[in-house]
Amino acid sequence: MTDLELTVDEGHMAVADRFFRAGTDLLALLDELSDAPVKWELSELRLGSAVARISPPTGAPGADGPLAAVVDGLVLVNDGSALPDSWTPDAVAAARKLAHVSTAVGEEGGAPAPAKLQLVVDNTMSAAVELTAELAARLDDLQPFERQMPGSVRGRLVGLNVSRGNRASLRHASGRVVRVRFSNDLRNQLKDAMFQDVELMGDLRQDGEGRVFHVHATDVRVLAKPSLKWSDLYGLDPDVTGGLSVADYLEATRGEA
């Protein structure tokens, strides 16, 4: 079993504002790195310096992947490497907020001890990733370019969750997952379309490579499955060329609409 442990204000009485804001930002980052919405659970909580362990629900296959993705990605950034390809602009923004909140100086004064994240795999702790001001600055520099426009995107609807806002996941033909937000009036339509190929219309957000990573959906259309495959068309109309060879037929019709 894999958990992710967040420690805030180690060695001191934890500041509630910093702890809860850091927890919210960490959940946002986990959501951005999950293929489908996950109902994250709080499996352990200790006071003093605040320590919280976040776990995927029991029996959710592959849901521990985002926990490792958070730590591995932050390690890469700390080491001066490029961002993982799976990190969207929203994932970087969530990581930036997490790092900045964890190093903010509040009314209590003084620089807080860096918050830290550690993977816990079968009760064995990984090396800690400290959420320092230097890490926050690196994430600032790495925030990717994005653009927004109206449009549509197609893929398979693979996840739906309304417990923390209306969220869904759409797996694009490229294999990448597009995060979806939607209004209440689309809930039933998206629920009925689960695990089907759909087209979502709305406001799209693209990264610098032109890849859609987020859509605020305003309409959904289930795509009809074709009744024939290309192989089924072979020999379906043997007289289509009017007795000409394929080469002669193409030459005769070339240039026609």
pLDDT one-digit tens code per residue, 191-202: 999 999 999 999
204 and 102, same structural domain?
A: no
Instruction: Judge whether residue 44 has pLDDT over 80.
Output: yes
Residue 245: inside a domain, yes or no?
A: no
User: Which residues, in sequence order, are bridge partners of residue 178?
Assistant: 170
Tell the burial category of 33 from Cβ atoms under 10 Å away from its Cβ (0-12, 13-18, 19+).
Answer: buried
Residue 171: inside a domain, yes or no?
A: yes
123 and 105, same structural domain?
A: yes
Mean pLDDT of the chain: 86
Instruction: Judge whether residue 113 has pLDDT over 80.
Output: no
164 and 199, same structural domain?
A: yes
Residue 239: inside a domain, yes or no?
A: no
Domain of residue 33 covers 2-142
Q: In this predicted structure, what is the pLDDT of residue 112?
A: 65
What is the rounded distance in angstroms from the CA atom of residue 214 to the CA atom of residue 169?
9
pTM of this structure: 0.78
Residue 42: inside a domain, yes or no?
A: yes
138 and 150, same structural domain?
A: no
170 and 138, same structural domain?
A: no
Pairing of strands 115-121, 50-55: unpaired
59 and 130, same structural domain?
A: yes
Q: In this predicted structure, what is the pLDDT of residue 159?
A: 92
Residues 6+ apart with CB under 8 A from 125: 5, 118, 119
- With H, G, I as helix, E, B as strand and everything else as coil, classify residue 12: coil
Instruction: Judge whether residue 256 has pLDDT over 50.
Output: no
190 and 169, same structural domain?
A: yes
162 and 117, same structural domain?
A: no
Instruction: Judge whether residue 10 has pLDDT over 50.
Output: yes
Total structural domains in the chain? Answer: 2
Backbone dihedral angles phi then psi of residue 145, each to the nearest 5 degrees: -70, 145
